[in-house]
Structure formats: C-alpha cells, structure tokens
Amino acid sequence: MKNNNFIKIYSIIMIAGTLLLGFFIFKGHSSYNALSETFENTKRTVNSLQARKIFPDESNLEEKQQRVTAYVGAVDKLKAKVIEGQPPLNEDLTEQDFRQFMNQESESIVALAAKNKLILPENFAFGLDAYKQGKPFLKGAIGRLEWQLNAAKQFIKIAANSGIDSIDEFNRDEFQEENEAAEPKEEESSSRGSSSTRNPSRTSKKDKSSDNPMAGADNVMETYRVTTEITGSYESLTAFLNGLASNKNSFLWVRKIRIENETQESPRKGEVSLPVPVPGAEADLDGKTAEIDAAVLFGNEKMRARIVIDAVRFKGEKAVSEDKKTASS
C-alpha cells in the first residue's frame, strides 16, 4: 500500500511538472515568434530606407526656396506698409527750426488742453525742459527729437479727446544721440533714459537674449519711452487705452500700466446724510423742494493710472510699390 501511494504521488508530480514545463515552452515560443516578427519588420524598414535617395532632392530644395522667397516677400510688404504709415524722420532739421517748432507745438497743445478741460503739468514742454533751459543740441538728435515730440503730441491729443481729467506727470527717456558722453555698448542703458537707477536693469535684461523676446529688435526699430501719470474716470481711461491701440499716426505701445482708485476707502456709515435739497431747485406750489434721496457711495470715483509707453519708429526707407515700379519702367 505504501508503494502504491508513493507511485501515485510521484506520478502526479511528474504530470504537473510536465504540464508546467510545456506551458513555459509554449509561452517562450510565442514571445520568440513576436520578437522575430518585429525584427523582420524593422529590418525591412531599414533596408527600405537605405534603398531610398537622400533627401532633400532638387524638387524639395526648389520648393523650400520658393517658400522662403514668399515669406521674405511678405515680410518686406509688411515692412513697407508699416513704414508708409509712420511719420518720416527729418534729419535735415536745424536747431533754430526745431526750437521754433517746439515752442509752437507747446502753445498749441496747451490751447487744446484748455479747450478740452485737460489739466497739464505746470510749464509743460513734452519732457524737453532741458532744451528750453538752454541745453545744446547734438548732431543726429534733432530729427529724432522732433519725431518724439510728434509722438508725444499724439499722446496728448488722445488723452484730451478721451476725456482724461489731468496729466499729472510726463517724463521721457533720453536717447543715445542726445548725450555726447554716451558710449555704444557700456553706456547703452544711459542712452534710453535720464534715470540711472532704472536703465541698468533694462540693460541686464537685454544681455539675456534667451529670456528677452525683444532681443534683436534694435535692428528693425527704435523706441522712445515716456512715463506718464494720468487721472480720469473709468470710461475716459478705457477710451484713452483704446485710442492708443487704434492710433493711425504713431505706434504707441503700452509697456507697463498700474491703475488704482483715487479714493481708496468707501464712506463710513453716517458720513452721507440724505435726503438733501437739489441745488438750485425751486419750491413747488405746496412749498416742497425736490430732494436727492440716493447717492453713489463707491465706484464713481476717479482712477489714477501710471503708464510706461514706447513710441516705436521702424527703421528703413519707404519701399516703392510694385505698381509704381511697373509704371516707372
């Protein structure tokens, strides 16, 4: 009986081992077939790629050249259109003519501001106070000063037409041609403004071309920066910003803006007593006078905005259109 039990147990173990071994053999064979098929497919793909001609061929090169040419042509057309819409740079302007132009424009802007009830800073001079006080003009600066003055004039007109109450501050950054001491590279920051505390940070940002999306922009455009502070209602401020964006005479780019309510706290309980008689109202037949029984407590105050604006001038001469070229030929 003991021998029979041993034989039974041994037989069961052998059968289970055989089945398990067969399972592993089948599984391994299936994996081998899958890997073998993958290898054969990869081999066929590699052989197919090796048999092909190296790209790009002449047709691909020609197509790429056509696309590059079309892109360059579109960029040139855009550049010509942009330059056509901006005021020209008058590099032949003399110092005497510019001083006369500056005085005339200052007077006209003051008159325009008075007409539109726009309060300007005292002795407003477009940020050119140093020149009114006798600062000499350097060669190459007069034409750009006139261009910057015209851009500032557009700014004032937009503010006046938008209903802004006051321009509380107006400062402009000087550019390199204004200062004889300015050096092309080491002093590049000082050429962009009279404040020495702000320019070094702007120069350090320029050095990091990977972090600055405007790196290389100096090759195609010049920027003339002004910093201003204005006060007005929400509606007038909105109209002003829309006017800057849609102005067709100058490219005025808002770089930074900070807006805050002129009144920071709402009235306390009991500060506003109602009702009150309507100013100038006359009593009716019953002796009653019209009264104001409601008032705006918060949200109707003026807003103050500090804005940094770049007046942008794109470099290059006005391009002659294809129609004009054809006509002239």
Q: Structure pTM? A: 0.59
Q: What is the pLDDT of residue 257?
A: 94
Of residues 2 and 304, more confidently modeled: 304
Q: For helices 142-162 and 234-246, what crossing angle results, to 10°?
A: 140
Partners of 23 in the β-ladder: none
DSSP H or E stretch at residue 201:
helix 199-207
* Mean pLDDT confidence for 17-33: 82
* Mean pLDDT confidence for 294-302: 71
Structure tokens at 329: 């030929």
Cα–Cα distance measured from residue 318 to residue 89, given in angstroms and rounded to the nearest whole number: 11
**Burial class of residue 115, CB neighbours in 10 A (0-12, 13-18, 19+):** exposed
Question: Quick check: 79 and 105 in contact, CB under 8 A?
Answer: no
Q: What is the pLDDT of residue 299?
A: 64
Of residues 210 and 135, more confidently modeled: 135
307 has pLDDT over 80: yes
The model's pLDDT over 155-181, given as tens digits with 9 standing for 90+, comes to 999 999 999 999 999 999 888 888 763
Centre a 10 Å sphere on the Cβ of residue 228 and count the other Cβ atoms it contains: 21
194 has pLDDT over 90: no
Cα–Cα distance measured from residue 42 to residue 103, given in angstroms and rounded to the nearest whole number: 81
Domains of the chain (ranges, CATH numbers): 73-264+302-317 (3.30.70.60)
Q: What is the pLDDT of residue 209?
A: 44
The model's pLDDT over 49-88, given as tens digits with 9 standing for 90+, comes to 888 777 667 778 888 899 999 999 998 888 888 787 777 7
261 has pLDDT over 50: yes
Count of positions (residues) in the chain: 329
Inter-CA distances, 100 with 94, 95, 105, 132, 263, Å: 10, 9, 9, 11, 42
Residue of 175, 176, 185, 255 lying closest to 213 (CA atoms): 255
The proportion of the chain whose per-residue pLDDT surpasses 90, expressed as a percent, equals: 22
Average pLDDT, the chain: 79
Q: Of the spans 52-56, 93-97, 123-127, 253-257, which averages the highest pLDDT?
A: 253-257
Of residues 137 and 67, more confidently modeled: 67
